Amino acid sequence: MIIDAHAHAYSGKYLDKMADAGGDWAKKVIARERKRAEDRPHYLDVTLSVERLDLLGYDLQVVTPLIFIDPNLFPGNTGGKLTVARAINDNMARLMEDSKGLV
Q: What is the pLDDT of residues 4-41, one digit of tens each?
A: 998 988 888 888 888 888 888 889 988 998 998 999 99
Task: Look at residue 67 in the predicted model and tell me its pLDDT.
Answer: 81
Task: Look at residue 103 in the predicted model and tell me its pLDDT.
Answer: 65
Residue 15's alpha-carbon distances to 52, 66, 74, 93, in angstroms, are 21, 13, 16, 13
Enumerate the domain spans of the chain. 3-99
Task: Look at residue 58 in the predicted model and tell me its pLDDT.
Answer: 94
* Size of the chain, expressed as the number of residues it contains: 103
pLDDT surpassing 90 at residue 3: yes
Q: What is the pLDDT of residues 51-70, one digit of tens each?
A: 999 999 999 999 998 888 88
Average pLDDT, integer, range 83-94: 92
